[in-house]
Chains A and B, each alone.
Chain A
Amino acid sequence: MYDPQPPDVQNDQTVACADARATVVEMADIWKAFDDFQALSGASLELQAGEIHALLGENGAGKTTLSNVLTGIYRPDVGTIRLDGEQRRFHSPAQAIAAGLGMVHQHFRLVEPLTVAENIHLGRPELPRRLSRRRLISETAQAMEQYGLTVNPTARIWQLSIGEQQRVEILRVLLRGARVLILDEPTAVLTPSEATELFAVLRRLAASGRTIVFISHKLHEVLAVSDRVTILRRGMNVATRPAAKMTPEKLAKLMTGTERVMEAPRPSKGRGKPVLELRNVSARGDRGLVSVREASCTVHEGEIVGVAGVSGNGQRELTEIATGLRHPFEGTVAIDGQDLTARLPGDFVSAGVGHVPEDRIGSAIVPSATVVDNAVLRAFRTGELSRAGVMRRGAVRVFTDRLVTAADVQLPDIDVPIANLSGGNQQRFVARREAWAADRLLVAAHPTRGLDVRAADQVREVVLDRRDAGCAVLLVSDDLDELLAVSDRIVVMYEGRIKGDFTAAKARRKEIGYLMGGGDLVGGAGAEAPS
């Protein structure tokens, strides 16, 4: 059965004894500026032994920055850090690690061509000078057993799934003797079942006396796993509260400073002509295995088709086929009746296709280029922005300003490299740019991943606006609630095949979950679904 929310824990019990716990870390009045952008303005954080402490805040609030200050990656301009009551100053991650502070980064820091065992042992002082493969592997296996996290020690990082890579990161930090473990948006990239596993691990670690700092935008899971919550807004503390006393609505209000306005559901105004037509397409994935099999799907004007499924079942490849990035070896792809099979991505762009890809850093932005350059990546050929192949600088800046304002991107100015923006702000930027580029079809993969509550609402609004303007939308998400909330139709992908086609109004969570797990609806819809 599909359950997007992690199982509940006994919060009351853990919170009851919270007061008796010793304070491990105390960060007070931390200030940090990047050039003239003030990322932290007097933030503080207090952590106790054995607690799971959630750190919340909107995109760009300074959560990652605060964690980086604690783990010696950034040096604060002002502020004190006390560890076990003693004032400390870390000049490098090495010193923070030695003091027992470990971090699992938002974008993993693993050395791809090295093996799991090598990554886990990297930088460990206990590692003998002379390497023995056998010893490395056996020690890795031993540590995996001890912490109940298993990955093949001889596999290379690039061969692992995201969930496995995360386990490697956690193991590495634990093996270095971390007492305080900071996880920066660990669940953003995990499937629901991987997330459930992670929570079990975190609880075990906390029970053994370690302190866990947990950053997330998914308020349900925050309340389910954490003991206390600290909320940041624009680099300042808003509140620290026991999780048991909070609700998702209260948290959202503390984060944004305003009530969350829930938009009423917006049903489609009716669909028009078919825009995207996939007929029996099959394609290979990156590793050469067939990952989309004989998939057929039609998306019409003014319609959002949601693609549900456990990630890794061919959704990414499907979005790439629909945008020309991947060529099917069988079947046809048409936009507005025009056959675009085996044509270049540029032809899809000309046909009015916008794409919010799953891997934003790898394929949606050029990290080292400025925000301005990234803004016009799609539209630079239009007469508005260039004339006879020469960019119109003024117009380009106006365009960028409009985009940044519309997407509510927080940034120092539009001439900084886009890599300097926080993860969530990059995502807002890409989602809006692609929505603008999409005249006929918007293909969006996890467009709200890593976004705070308000930004996620805004991106969903953008998607609905495109639809109401007559655009066709193909939306991939592993958040079933999100799909049910915005889609007009839902299809399910399992092992590369498209199964089931539900009208959103009639879709039942249970049936979809059953299909996602590999079930079939042959004998009457849902007849075989287990109760």
Chain B
Amino acid sequence: MGSLFNALHTSIDAGAVILIAAMGSLLAERSGMLNLGMEGMMALGAVAAVVAAGQLTSPLLCLLVGIAAGALCGLVFGVVTAVIRANQVLTGLALVLLGVGLANRIGTDFAGTPMSTTFSSWPIPLLHEIPYIGRALFSHDPIVYVAYLVLPAAASYVLFRTRHGLNVRAIGENAAAADAAGLRVTATRTIYATIGGALAGMAGGWLVLSLTPTWTQNVTGGRGWVAIALVIFAYWRPWRVVGGALLFGGMISLGFLAQDQNWGIPAPVLAMLPYVLTLVLIVLPAFVPSIRARRAGAAPAGLTLPFYREAR
């Protein structure tokens, strides 16, 4: 019984990294920017937080450094694709190679040493004392609450309840129409690419400041890619991303649980689970037409399309 709730606790933590990154990707994609470089931006965010931890004592400040690193990458991506109109897919792939490579290079000196500062858990008064459930749900570090409550609520409020969100969605769907209506396409897209990068950096930073509090090479382990897949799976809706993140987190903790309980499944197979799930969810629509139709309708129609006012 106890181990099940432990697994739930782990699922929530493991899902949070992916959730934060996916929310960043979702926001950028809603404005028409698909940044495949999530993995690279997460890695740079993580290594920036690791380096910062050598100088700073507050985990929050270290996280901010990670966010800033991610935001800078996002800004560069935004300028290169929205202003200079380079191909988004190629730029994103370049960002993965550059980000992961650079992070590993910088990180070599820190590899293996535990982080000097980490987030500690913030049990919610009273609630965390509920047997079993209390520990599983209400004793996480503050960023987890932010990830599961503040981020999706804010994203969904801004996107669907405000004028600004309407503008962003219009720009992501049909940039020429949005431009003709007087909206600022290039600026908005650059800003949202930056926000996407900031959240990717945050995800990477939190990863090393809480989930695996030490630098290891390739610490992001493909989570950036999972985040991109998750946005598709969630039909570009913030609250569905939360559900998806929990599902992925669950897969990861299922691996731990199996090891813990000696189910006799080889560890590499268990470690594969979240990635297999990603693959299944991405490939599924090929076999289920109704999912395919929903997914096609949900994607912002202008995703990856460059906008140039004088082009036809």
Contact = CB atoms under 8 A, between A and B. Distances in A.
A419 B305 CA distance: 15
Interface in A90-129: 92-94, 97-98, 103, 105, 108-114, 118, 121-123, 127-129
A172 B312 CA distance: 22
B177 A110 contact: yes
Contacts of A34: 310
Contacts of B184: 94
A154 to B, nearest CB: 15
A122 B301 contact: no
Contact of A122 (B176, B181, B309): B181
A388 interface: no
Interface size range of chain B in the complex = 20 to 34
A240 interface: no
Nearest to A64: B312
A105 B173 CA distance: 18
A131 B161 contact: yes
B173 A114 contact: yes
Contacts of B140: none
B149 interface: no
B108 interface: no
A444 B182 CA distance: 38
Contacts of B163: 127-131
B183 interface: yes
B286 interface: no
Interface string B142-170: 00000000000000000001111111011
Interface string B162-195: 1111110110011011111111100000000000
A94 B173 contact: no
Contacts of A162: none
A133 B170 CA distance: 16
A129 B162 contact: yes
A112 B176 CA distance: 12
Given A73-B180, A73-B310, A109-B181, A123 B167 contact: yes
A122 B164 CA distance: 10
A446 to B, nearest CB: 21
B182 A97 contact: yes
A420 interface: yes
A74 interface: yes
A111 B178 contact: yes
Contacts of A112: 173-174, 301
Contact of A93 (B170, B174, B182, B301): B182
B190 to A, nearest CB: 16
B162 A93 contact: no
A123 B183 contact: yes
B162 A122 contact: no
Contacts of A419: 311-312
27 contacts: A73-B179, A73-B309, A92-B179, A92-B309, A93-B179, A94-B182, A94-B183, A98-B182, A108-B177, A109-B176, A109-B177, A109-B180, A111-B169, A111-B173, A111-B174, A111-B178, A112-B173, A114-B169, A114-B173, A118-B166, A118-B170, A122-B167, A122-B170, A128-B163, A130-B162, A131-B163, A131-B165
Interface of B: 161-167, 169-170, 173-174, 176-184, 297, 301, 309-312
Query: Considering the complex of A and B, which 8 residue pairs feature the smallest CB-CB distances, nearest first?
Result: A94-B182, A123-B181, A109-B177, A123-B182, A109-B180, A122-B181, A419-B312, A111-B170
